[in-house]
Structure 1
């Protein structure tokens, strides 16, 4: 993940460069539907639950900097180094990796996270077991660059294997659980080989020229993923990041960052997925941005497709500005977050909302407040979200449409200035039964639905308008 840049100018540049990537992720023709019946069943279940939690957490939270990317020697805004070591990359990397010796999140309490997420209506979790920097938030046997190593103060804590603790706490609350895992590893000698210092995010040597090094790296990756698939209970999702680690045949030259991949970086995903599913039958594998049989759903980042997509997909979006912890975060209003969820679900997607724990092992209190506010809306309106399918015209103006076997849900997304439903409101044309009952979720009073030339009109009584004032989205139930 990359840190979202707050500069207006840079945001414009990022938005422009992201258009090609978003176009690629909206290319339905490249999606390969799974054939494994257990995978298909789990994918259908995942599509029904709609709303998940992503957490980026590692030693980088101590400095309050972007996750991993300040190690990357690229001239990009999210890779900018700051602080006393910034002038010398080698000194900076040494200091960054030395954060392992001070990382001590003594307020770590995954049960509080799981309870808050459940209260907000989230139903699955994806946790960063290892980001690009290579620091492992699980008890791997393959490196000492990990939270459970004796050099790390938190290793003496009985809950030091935080991945195990987090997955267990969320599983206890009925969540589907997923492991984020970075395919590139900027710590291991077999990816950024010190004989050839890195020039960018990619492997620092040609894997074809040095096949022994690449085999060691591929085996290391395979073995670490096998650890996660065998020592952490039932796992539902293997969420792989670092899409530049891919075979040359899958590089999409229309996407700017893929054009800069200098080498084929094939880690044999068929071997990895086969092993993972042997241990975890039905596992969803998400090899992000690498279209094909190992990308069971696509993952537009910090963006929402502008139209309905008939394939499984998930927007991963930050609750604040950053993927990783920063001391003063700018959290999106709950109103915006609820409208984002409604928009995504009407287009056939899921929302994976990121919250970043800090160096002490806690979230910002404001994140808990946002989840509580979302939960208040979900408690009343969740039936329009879970287990629904998008309904044409999907999104039209301020309307979003979903349905299930019992009802049609027409969700009205108010503008910033709208605090009450209009006294009379026009609905687009929908196919509804002649005797259909209409209500607004949260109010029991039946409303009058009148056919018009362009659709329907609904009169909303003043009592209902006042009762439901200030909602982020109003949902009309027709059925």
Structure 2
């Protein structure tokens, strides 16, 4: 048996199989490993990273006037002559060392690692049994998902894989077009060549960037077969769908398969299915059906507006999803304060470091990762294994809630506090260093009932003094030392 897959276990008699129905899937319970992990890292990597110009290349290279179309014509040639089928062959991953990458991520504090299985470009990054356009047959000649799975599990990390394939039928169908103007006006792009219909699809008109509305059942079942293969071969601890449940019962069958195979292999349900609620984005098109409780809610490039009853996840990136040579990355401070805010609300952060086409990270990405690691080595006791407190925080600054809401950067202040807890220990992160050297914990004097505080420690420094003034609006005042124990958000360990 492959080392990436656990042998079957005897399930407990109390563990029931899941049926592909909403009612059955809503019996799902998130496993403790995910609730405790808090931080994962993702390699959103595939052939669209070859040009190093960012996201959605396979779609936009066929859209005349788009900057990626212009780039493609300038660097590779017109898409009637050199199409995506040719570009994928340039992905070599010649310097790919999954153990080296995963070792870095483990050292910086990730508890789970996630690989991209297939994006909207209809290319499988694994040894696919149902699709010949995959990373073993074309391009690298390597089972990217399998190599990452082996490295992650060898390092003691949980392993996840992501699916973005379901919208390929429409998203990738721009390859059937032609220029409207210029010397190639009316000349069909290479997606019209019937020799490559297994990659580009048979002729149809839908080009939506959302889930397809006109896809035949044959495509839906083909998508399902590829997902079953991904689950069967690599036994993911986490499975992510880029959207909500696609294709009705066909999608529900994939969810049930993930859960049931996981139970067979572990004896109890330890799998996480992460998916999105796009209800408020319906005007952008159909992104599948979501119901509370069937899995773990994922909020792409955003956060929730408060503590959630169930664990959830933010997925975001230090820059673009695919590698962009001129990208401005998030700073370590931005990432660390985002992590703290998310964890205070019962969430996890899944952070993508875009990988270059040769399989390596650039120097700035490595520096960002190591800065996160230095901070985590000192402050992670307030992150891992924690649970939300009575309130997630206090102070004037709030990250915008909802999908894709992180566009506007916000600077946190010394008044911005975020809380987590373990048993009788309350952790309070203050997200800016106060100029007067006093941290005010107003939440410790709420509803005229002050909390009993026995001691306060500044993590990385030691025990420090505190006082209560009796003024309701100030709560507990903590006196800081002159020197800061780390460069970013600081942690108070409060014994209650």
What TM-score comes out, normalization by structure 1 length?
0.76
1:344·1:351 contact (CA, 8 Å) conserved in 2? yes
- Distance, in Å, in 2 between the alignment partners of 1:112 and 1:102 is 23
Partner of 1:300: 299
- Distance, in Å, in 1 between the alignment partners of 2:424 and 2:226 is 45
Q: Is 1:276 the equivalent of 2:258?
A: yes
The aligned length equals: 406
- Distance, in Å, in 1 between the alignment partners of 2:360 and 2:313 is 26
Partner of 2:470: 452
1:336·1:472 contact (CA, 8 Å) conserved in 2? no
Equivalent residues in 2 for 1:154-233, closer than 5 Å: 154-155=140-141, 160-182=142-164, 183-186=166-169, 193-201=201-209, 206-207=214-215, 214-232=216-234
- Distance, in Å, in 1 between the alignment partners of 2:301 and 2:66 is 14
- Distance, in Å, in 2 between the alignment partners of 1:67 and 1:474 is 35
1:68·1:131 contact (CA, 8 Å) conserved in 2? no
Match of 1:465 among 471, 474, 482: 482
Q: Is 1:426 the equivalent of 2:440?
A: yes
User: 386-395 vs 61-70, which deviates more?
Assistant: 61-70
- Distance, in Å, in 2 between the alignment partners of 1:335 and 1:135 is 35
After TM superposition, give the deviation of residue 400 of structure 1 in Å.
0.5
Equivalent residues in 2 for 1:27-426, closer than 5 Å: 36=27, 40=29, 42=31, 44-68=32-56, 70-71=58-59, 81-85=69-73, 91=79, 95-149=83-137, 151-152=138-139, 154-155=140-141, 160-182=142-164, 183-186=166-169, 193-201=201-209, 206-207=214-215, 214-232=216-234, 234-243=235-244, 246=246, 265-266=247-248, 268-281=250-263, 282=269, 283-289=271-277, 290-292=289-291, 295-320=294-319, 322-397=320-395, 398-414=416-432, 418=433, 422-426=436-440
Q: Is 1:475 the equivalent of 2:491?
A: yes
Q: What do the CA deviations read for 1:104-143 (whole angstroms, capped 9, x no partner)?
A: 1111011121111112211112211100001111010212
Unaligned runs of 5+ in 1: 1-30, 208-213, 247-264
**3-state secondary structure, aligned to 2:330:** coil
- Distance, in Å, in 2 between the alignment partners of 1:435 and 1:136 is 55
Change (3 A) 1:311 1:73: farther
- Distance, in Å, in 2 between the alignment partners of 1:79 and 1:177 is 35
- Distance, in Å, in 1 between the alignment partners of 2:276 and 2:156 is 25
**3-state secondary structure, aligned to 2:101:** helix
- Distance, in Å, in 1 between the alignment partners of 2:72 and 2:62 is 19
Q: What do the CA deviations read for 1:332-385 (whole angstroms, capped 9, x no partner)?
A: 111111111111111221111111111111111211111111111111111111
After TM superposition, give the deviation of residue 184 of structure 1 in Å.
2.3
Q: What do the CA deviations read for 1:185-234 (whole angstroms, capped 9, x no partner)?
A: 34695897433233323577735xxxxxx2221221121112112222x4
- Distance, in Å, in 2 between the alignment partners of 1:356 and 1:195 is 33
- Distance, in Å, in 1 between the alignment partners of 2:103 and 2:470 is 46
Change (3 A) 1:78 1:241: farther
- Distance, in Å, in 2 between the alignment partners of 1:293 and 1:93 is 47
**3-state secondary structure, aligned to 1:231:** helix
After TM superposition, give the deviation of residue 67 of structure 1 in Å.
3.6
- Distance, in Å, in 1 between the alignment partners of 2:102 and 2:159 is 11
The CA RMSD measured in Å over matched residues stands at 3.2
Change (3 A) 1:122 1:76: farther
